Amino acid sequence: MKFLIMGAGALGCAFGGMLAKEGHDVTLIGREKYMRPIRENGLKISGIWGTHLIRSITATSKLREDYEPEIVLLATKSFDTARAMEDLKAFIPDDSVVISLQNGIGNEEIIAGHVGKARTISGMVITGFEMVNHGEVNVTVAADTTKIGELNNVVTERSKQIVSIFNEAGIPSEVVDNIQMHIWAKALYNSALNPLSAIFRVNYGRLLDPNAFSIIRDLITEATAVAEAEGVELFWKSAEEYLDYLKDKQIPPTEKHHSSMLKDIEQGKRTEIDFLNGIFVELGRKHEIPTPVNETIVRSIKFLEGSSQR
């Protein structure tokens, strides 16, 4: 199949490279400083998905009308979703499908606003990727398989086909009929660990310290209250039930991982905090639910963003 990867950073390059390895027609759209080394030397992938050198892949920083992808994998930062979809509209066929592989809550609604719900698929990726060098990606850790699901929660033939393609390419995946539950589950995980890892400059394992975990407890308590008010069904019946799962099941396999938010701040980049803890603050205001800890975290990250850009 013909794939276009929009926002080909570490995640996008890893997905695109694995698909190209299996013979799919893949075009990466990303920053030229990352794309040029791939054109010249191929794309190197290492880590838990194996070691590969992929040369049969198109890597560019410019969109062209002749790409005509069947599937678009959107891997941009969440704050770039609207702009990316504006850029894509003129270059993708009317029967193409756009799959969000992004962090945070709200990306699918933005995508559907441009191409319609029928052409929008949601993806949940909870795997660690690191751009070791320009043109070289390391797949570091996975807390779960990639989940793919339709917005109407119906398991369709196309979603099953996409998951089959991913698995054949070496990307462990499964189709689900409750994708929003997975999206919110990842948002809880990210909002609990990413900002505190960035603020304290520690790996995830260090956040099990009672002082740090007490902050996480407050973050999650606020977030689950907001989810209940919003009518979102979660996998866990209470904040405490999720916190036990986070502590016992999710943090241990990723304990040495540092958040991408920390790397963004160190590199003077904008973070996705508005689509993580910021969403809980926004929805809290909507339902008149206080979210002071999440709001403090958002303000702290924005302070660090500003400090790193001076």
Catalytic-role residue among 62, 77, 186, 302: 186
Q: How far is CA 40 from CA 27, 46, 52, 184, in A?
A: 15, 18, 16, 39
Question: 139 near 257, Cβ under 8 Å?
Answer: no
Pairing of strands 120-124, 146-150: antiparallel
Question: 146 near 125, Cβ under 8 Å?
Answer: yes
SS3 130: strand
| Exposure on the CB side of residue 103, measured as CA atoms within 13 A | 25
Enumerate residues 6+ apart whose C-beta is below 8 A from 239: 217, 220, 221, 223, 224, 225
Q: % helix / strand / coil in the chain, to the nearest 5?
A: 50, 20, 30
Question: 177 near 155, Cβ under 8 Å?
Answer: yes
Q: Is 302 a catalytic residue?
A: no
Catalytic positions, written as ranges: 186
